Structure 1
Amino acid sequence: MSKNIVIAEDFNVSRKIISSVLTKAGHSVFEAADGKEAASFFDGRKIDLLVTDFNMPEMNGAELIKIVRSSNKYSFIPILLLTTEVNENKLKTALDENITAWVKKPFQADDFLKIVTKALR
């Protein structure tokens, strides 16, 4: 069943790869180059999953997650945090916002898709 997924990733190549994997799996994808752009998709439309990078310009992943979680409509959607971040204090900030899973970059497409499928159940 097709789901609506927002991808927030500032690195264009990574964003396109993630989008391709999800589109091939039958999902509708909304792409954003940063958290601020991604936040604009949470405007009342049906969003089933947020996949966000941690370190981005304009608005980082933790800030985006906080905005999404503050909305009644989106407070319980699954959120996957993509990161190469190793600073545990920064990651704790995102974890405090009740993410569903954290995916360490780089990752294998098949493994990523399994995590997405599990999160969407």
Structure 2
Amino acid sequence: MSKKIVVAEDFNVSRKIIVNLLSKAGYSILEAADGQEALQHFDGQDLDLLITDYNMPNMDGAELISEVRKNEHYSYIPILLLTTEVKEEKIQKALDEDITAWIKKPFQADGFLKIVNRALK
């Protein structure tokens, strides 16, 4: 059975690129356009990884991570944070939520997939 990944990214083109990369690598993907939409996938089903953008409308990546971490069923799920964010306080807020890795956009496909594969081991 393939690993199930939630991808939260508000920029449609970026989300499609990420979903395409992960799908070709054999992963099952649940897409979300923002944190609120992504949070709906955390309903008790088995999920293996969250990949989220930082800056999104309605609920940003840091808020999403915080909400996911509050749920006992997902408190230890690996989380990859994608961002172009450079503000130190925002970076620290995300790091305080115990993310697995921070990936700066734009990223190289091969490097991205290596990080995903490592997070899922």
TM-score when normalising by structure 1: 0.99
1:13 pairs with 2:13? yes
| Displacement after TM superposition at 1:2 (Å) | 1.5
**Gap runs ≥5 in structure 2:** none
CA drift at 1:56: 0.1
Following superposition of structure 1 onto structure 2, how do residues 18-33 of structure 1 map, counting pairs within 5 Å? 18-33=18-33
Residues 3-46 of structure 1 deviation map (CA, whole Å, 9 limit, x = unaligned): 00000000000000000000001000000000000000000011
- Between the two proteins, what is the percent identity of the paired residues? 69
Partner in structure 1 of residue 101 of structure 2: 101
Distance in 2 (alpha carbons) for counterparts of 1:66 and 1:45 = 18
TM-score, scaled relative to structure 2: 0.99
- Residue 39 (str. 1) matches residue 35 (str. 2): no
Query: 1-side partners of 2:13 and 2:110: how far apart?
Result: 17
Give the length in aligned residue pairs. Answer: 121
CA distance in 1, matches of 2:26, 2:90: 33
- In the TM superposition, residue 58 of structure 1 has moved relative to its aligned partner by 0.3
Alignment of 1:20-99 (within 5 A): 20-99=20-99
Alpha-carbon RMSD across the aligned residues, in angstroms, is 0.6
Q: Distance in 2 between matches of 1:118 and 1:2?
A: 15
Letter in 1 for 2:59: M
